[in-house]
Amino acid sequence: MDFRIEKDTLGEVKVPADKLWGAQTERSRNNFKIGPAASMPFEVIKAFAYLKKAAAFTNTELNVLATHKRDLIAQVCDEILNDKLNEHFPLVIWQTGSGTQSNMNVNEVIAHRAQQLSQKTFEEEPVLKENDDVNKSQSSNDTFPTAMHIAASIQLIQHTIPAIELLQKTLETKANEFKDVIKIGRTHLMDATPLTLGQEFSGYAKLLENGLKSLQQSLEPISELALGGTAVGTGLNTPKGYDVLVAKNISIFTGIPFKTAPNKFEALSAHNAIVQSHAALKQLAVSLNKIANDIRLLASGPRSGIGEILIPENEPGSSIMPGKVNPTQSEALTMVAAQVMGNDVAITIGATQGHYELNVFKPLLIANFLQSAQLLGDACISFAKHCVEGITPNYKRIEELLNNSLMLVTALNTKIGYYKAAEIAQKAHHEDTTLKQAAVALGYVTEKEFDEWVNPKNMI
């Protein structure tokens, strides 16, 4: 492999000649060979492109950066946003906790690509300097948390929230479709009083509606950006008005209403906005886990389980048992839910690592957050399209289980009292008779009264 020599404050480093990164990126690449598959998410790299472009425009407006340098920075940032330079961002999550090396990776790529666009060799005087131009008015300590919030906001707004809305609406549609299907309810996994299948599904839809509200509310604190705080939150080396103007420019480029954080010391040293928003993702994971488990239990069988609903038969379920079909979408969704709950533990611990003026678990925080947001969105779309849309009631089985339930006797509480009704249920259960037979045999009701009072349609 051909190399070129790059320099930083620690000296010379050999860098692959065909790559655009520089000395600091190469040092990180060599010093942190920890899980090469755990690359810094490209959502973060693209967020950096937005903020570097916005910073360049802001610096030019405030007369501290030349226009031609702004234009070069913006041109390269647009290439990054269009996935043209992906191969030049090789770093992993497991690096410095401030994300400094990824910030410098972006700075170096922008500077070196600008050199190419200017038709100059790397040996010639640089047209852009990584620290003095691309990183002007910035520090890794305020750019990385800003990139975190930009990436998180884009992922939630463009992917996660629409996907959850799709599943929520699909469940609402099914709730309306099943509104007249009366079935037996269950509490403690035991028979309970009747409800409709539509009512059951309406509970699922409401769970997601509540989760969506929490997630949407969490967008507000994530909209606050640390950029302008520089090293420790004081804004050292920034021109007056920079923080407000750069947030405005980021809003223009992303189409998302960002604003500068009112307190930069908090924005650099703690990440409660990420904690709060991921808590909403965890809430959704808990709800989705319940929904997926209920659906696979209701569909269990097809002949020796509950079997009250029929789910789509998407793929063979066994390599040895012919004809077996499994609730694979439920299994995938519950695995995703488990991953999100695990990610929440990592984020909680990561957020505790704010020592004095800087949190030093930033890469871990955003990597876990973005994984959760991506997985939940993907899983909700898959579950809606490949499972919920195709669910149909198993009317025969629903009626069989409904009529066989002892808990229909609850309708007699107000007629003959709880204790006599309990005696009827126990007699029917121990003697393996119907509720009606037991009630009449005990002399507590007539057949006519039983038929009139114990009617599932009047119990929902």
Per-residue pLDDT tens digits for 157-201: 999 999 999 999 999 999 999 999 999 999 999 999 999 999 999
pLDDT score, position 35: 87
Which pLDDT tens digit goes with each residue over 418-444?
999 999 999 999 999 999 999 999 999
Which pLDDT tens digit goes with each residue over 279-329?
999 999 999 999 999 999 999 999 999 999 999 999 999 999 999 999 999
Domain chopping of the chain, boundaries: 3-136, 148-396, 406-458
Which pLDDT tens digit goes with each residue over 117-127?
999 999 999 99
CA–CA dist 44, 50 (Å, integer): 10
- Whether 243 has a pLDDT exceeding 90, the answer reads yes
Q: Which two tokens stand for residue 47?
A: 């967020």
- Whether 1 has a pLDDT exceeding 80, the answer reads no
Q: Which two tokens stand for residue 292?
A: 């997926």
Class of domain 148-396: mainly alpha
Q: Is residue 153 annotated as a catalytic residue, yes or no?
A: no
Can 3-136 and 406-458 be said to share one CATH topology? Answer: no
- Whether 336 has a pLDDT exceeding 90, the answer reads yes
- CATH code at 406-458: 1.10.40.30
Helix, coil or strand: residue 60: helix
**Which residues are documented as binding site?**
98-100, 139-141, 187, 319, 324-326
Of the candidates 228, 62, 73, 8, the residue with the CA atom closest to the CA atom of residue 139: 228
**Mean pLDDT, to the nearest integer, of 390-411?**
97
Fold of 3-136: Fumarase C; Chain B, domain 1 (1.10.275)
Predicted structure pTM score: 0.96
Helix, coil or strand: residue 268: helix
**Which residues are documented as binding site for substrate?**
98-100, 139-141, 187, 319, 324-326
Per DSSP, the residues of 131-197 read: IIIITTT--HHHHHHHHHHHHHHHHIIIIIHHHHHHHHHHHHHHHHHTTT-EEEEEETTEEEEEEEH
**Of 88, 137, 149, 188, which residue is the catalytic one?**
188
Q: Is residue 318 annotated as a catalytic residue, yes or no?
A: yes
**Of 68, 118, 318, 429, which residue is the catalytic one?**
318
